[in-house]
Structures are given as structure tokens and as C-alpha cells.
Amino acid sequence: MPQPAVVEGALVQCSFGLAPASLVVLPASMVTVESMPAADITCCTPANIPTFGMCTSLSNPEVAAATSAALGVLTPMPCVPALTPWVPGSETTMIGGKPALVMGSTCTCAFGGVVQILNPGSTKTLV
């Protein structure tokens, strides 16, 4: 079933992050949707998603150390995402040989967070 295409400026959120982030799509593929650079499933690097503000995952060594130092009181630390590629991508549309990123795709952080797309940035284009 077609889903909305994800483009530059899409709003994404990590389950352990304290703030949503705006997706940055590098214009390498030169593919646009609704006049915005279109994302593919590999848009999961620090260049694409630099931070979700503060991280609250105890799997993050910095959060665990700060929480331990605070005698067990959860102490968020700056978020530095370590993400896997998005799944699933579009079954029918490719961007630069990779599946297009669509609403409903998720990716995971090495510290246990699940990242979801809150707003794909496109409103009319289904892929």
C-alpha cells in the first residue's frame, strides 16, 4: 500500500530522545518530491539526523554514568544517534538504487531507541 514520501525537513522522533529532529536530506541523488530533496532508507547518519536533544536511555554509557553519579536519578545526556538504516522502505520506488523512505518506516539506535517519522514533509506524493 503506498505511503507518503519522506523529504527534507520531515519531523522524526526517538523513543529515548527529548526533542524531535528535522531530517536533513543530502542532495546527492538529485531526486525531489514536491520540490524538496527525497529521502532514501540510508538517510540515518549524523549528517541526516544530528541529535534528538537529550538521551534518556540507560543503554547509553554517558546516561548510565551520569545516572549512577546522581545516585540512581535518571540524568539525561546529550543525544548522539547511532542509527541503523530505515525499514521498510518503499516496495516500488527507488532513489539512487535504494528504496525510498516512506511514512511508517522506522530505524533503531544502538542505545535501544526506536525512531519514527512524525511528519513526512510531503502531503500529496505516495510511493
Q: Classify residue 58 by burial, with Cβ atoms within 10 Å: 0-12, 13-18, 19+.
A: middle
Provide the domain limits for residue 42: 4-126
**How far is CA 2 from each of CA 6, 24, 66, 68, 102, rounded to the nearest angstrom?**
12, 23, 44, 46, 9
Mean pLDDT for 97-123 is 97
Task: Please check the confidence at residue 1 and state whether its pLDDT lies above 80.
Answer: no
Task: Report which of 86, 61, 88 is spatially closest to residue 75, judged by C-alpha positions.
Answer: 61
Residue-wise pLDDT for 14-68, tens only, equals: 999 999 999 999 877 789 999 999 999 999 999 999 999 999 999 999 999 999 9
Structural domain count, the chain: 1
Asked if 52 and 17 touch (Cβ cutoff 8 Å), the reply is yes
- Kindly report the pTM of this predicted structure: 0.93
Predicted pLDDT of residue 125: 83
For 118, the 3-state DSSP assignment is: strand
103 pLDDT higher than 90: yes
